[in-house]
Amino acid sequence: MAANSGMLVVFTDLDGTLLDEETYSWEAAEPALAMLRERGIPWVMVTSKTRAEVEVLRERMGEDVAGVEER
């Protein structure tokens, strides 16, 4: 086992990365998100969007919003 085999976390931008830049759809990312859920790997949205915008998006995506933090 590798010495750095700790917990995995995925960080992702939204516009043009997780979300389609024209439609804001996350359909193309859904297989990857499902795999992360199945494996218990957390993922973090890295964005300049407001907390309110992120909470609405996560609710629409069916993701837990309890851990959303605003900096």
Distances (CA, A) of 30 to 3, 5, 69: 31, 26, 23
- Going 17 to 23 to 26 to 31, the CA torsion angle's sign is negative
Q: How far apart are alpha carbons 66 and 68 in whole angstroms?
A: 6
What value does the mean pLDDT take over residues 2-17?
Answer: 81
State the amino acid at position 29 in one-letter form.
A
pLDDT digits (tens, 9 = 90+) for 27-69: 999 999 889 989 989 988 899 999 999 888 888 888 654 444 4
Query: Is residue 13 among the annotated active site residues?
Result: yes
Q: Name the catalytic one among 13, 15, 20, 64.
A: 13
Report the chain's terminal Cα–Cα distance, integer Å: 36
Q: What is the pTM of this model?
A: 0.70
- By the 10 Å C-beta count (0-12 exposed, 13-18 middle, 19+ buried), 7 is classed as exposed
